[in-house]
Amino acid sequence: MASPFFFVFLLSALSLENTYASPNYREALSKSLLFFQGQRSGRLPSDQQLSWRSSSGLSDGSSAHVDLTGGYYDAGDNVKFNFPMAFTTTMLSWSSLEYGKKMGPELQNSRVAIRWATDYLLKCARATPGKLYVGVGDPNGDHKCWERPEDMDTPRTVYSVSPSNPGSDVAAETAAALAASSMVFRKVDPKYSRLLLATAKKVMQFAIQYRGAYSNSLSSSVCPFYCSYSGYKDELLWGAAWLHRATNDPYYTNFIKSLGGGDQPDIFSWDNKYAGAYVLLSRRAVLNKDNNFELYKQAAENFMCKILPNSPSSSTKYTKGKLNTEFSPKAFQLLKY
């Protein structure tokens, strides 16, 4: 999906609104959240604001005898790619957790956008024991014709990972999304929050126990569209970091320590989660003085030095206006650190 980084940039910008008063970031935030309604798949509710959209994808999952309706279409396509969709959900949740008090009435709209994704991800995780559904649609056929989802006539192929065809990356990202969103709903809907967290734990265990990249299991069904180029260790770290924050369970502390150090990236994206995991884990080192996470605090600081303009170790290219193609996710990490 194209919007999560724009969304987190807007939330980050809200903290600067008093300094730069001209841009109307609140209106931009509202319209950014409205974008997600345009990406909805499934049976649309009566309060759908974008009236030019109708229900679609109502038979999704039927070829596998499961209900996989809902979720979001990817970009301008009619395919549901769970890998970037789950990352979008994680980032929406993180943004809401950190900036919810600044969002005013848009916080509820953010929760609605998150829940539209998590309801679908729960179906994917719970429909068939021992299997995680990770996408719906035929990307190769879909990309040959740009059409409204209400009118699509391309196959609604169902994709999944399993112990024999693992996908640690997509599973751990799904776990991260469910764990992060469980904290968003912890006070407003405790029962739903508990369901999200319980499912996150099971999906994370699946990711840990059955190691492998989903790109290898699903090949041309996800590549070159959303290959896991960075491997799956970053998602294992990212997913465990979110489960740790949601539960404070020492099991995740020990698992994180077992992974050791990782890549030293100068990017943060739907594919490469190392930087986000470092910033998330450094929170424990900074706020809780927990020496278990000192390694990740240093890694987070190294990341900051790589992306700051004019830093001696900067490896990021900027335009004359000091922007680059990954400005929004990087800005989010800078503000959080």
As a whole number of angstroms, the distance between CA 123 and CA 326 comes to 31
Which residue has tokens 């996408």? 135
Please say whether the beta carbons of 214 and 271 come within 8 A. Answer: no
Residue 335 has pLDDT above 60, yes or no: no
Nearest Cα residue to 85 out of 147, 194, 170 = 170
How confident is the model at residue 2, as a pLDDT?
Answer: 45
Higher pLDDT, 284 or 126: 126
Nearest Cα residue to 99 out of 7, 197, 191, 193 = 7
C-alpha 6, offset from chain centre: 13
Give the pLDDT band (50/70/90) at residue 3: very low
How confident is the model at residue 332, as a pLDDT?
Answer: 53
Mean pLDDT of all residues in 195-199: 98
Tokens of 135: 């996408």
**Please, which residues have CB within 8 angstroms of residue 287's CB and are 6 or more apart in sequence?**
none
Residue 328 has pLDDT above 70, yes or no: no
Structure confidence by residue, pLDDT tens digits, 14-44: 554 444 457 788 899 999 999 999 999 999 9
Helix or strand or coil: residue 35?
helix
Which residue has tokens 């499912």? 199
How confident is the model at residue 9, as a pLDDT?
Answer: 45
Mean pLDDT of all residues in 155-169: 98
How confident is the model at residue 4, as a pLDDT?
Answer: 47
Structure confidence by residue, pLDDT tens digits, 218-240: 999 999 999 999 999 999 999 99
Give the pLDDT band (50/70/90) at residue 320: low
Let me know how long the chain is: 337
Ordered structural domains, the chain, with CATH: 38-45+54-98+108-248 (1.50.10.10), 261-337 (no CATH)
- Give the residues across from 160 on adjacent strands: 133
CA dihedral 139, 232, 335, 264 (to 10 degrees): -120
Please say whether the beta carbons of 99 and 148 come within 8 A. Answer: no
Nearest Cα residue to 84 out of 226, 236, 229, 233 = 226
Mean pLDDT over the full length of the chain: 88
Residue 333 has pLDDT above 60, yes or no: no
Half-sphere exposure for 57 (CA within 13 Å, toward CB): 29
Tokens of 230: 């960075």
Counting beta carbons within 10 angstroms of the beta carbon of residue 14, is it exposed (0 to 12), middle (13 to 18) or buried (19 or more)?
Answer: middle
Give the CA distances from residue 82 to residues 120, 125, 230, 264, in Å, rounded to whole numbers and listed in that order.
10, 11, 17, 26
Half-sphere exposure for 309 (CA within 13 Å, toward CB): 10
Mean pLDDT of all residues in 253-275: 88
Structure confidence by residue, pLDDT tens digits, 73-108: 998 899 999 999 999 999 999 999 999 999 999 999
As a whole number of angstroms, the distance between CA 185 and CA 93 comes to 10
Structure confidence by residue, pLDDT tens digits, 100-159: 999 999 999 999 999 999 999 999 999 999 999 999 999 999 998 889 999 999 999 999
Give the CA distances from residue 176 to residues 20, 197, 242, in Å, rounded to whole numbers and listed in that order.
34, 10, 5
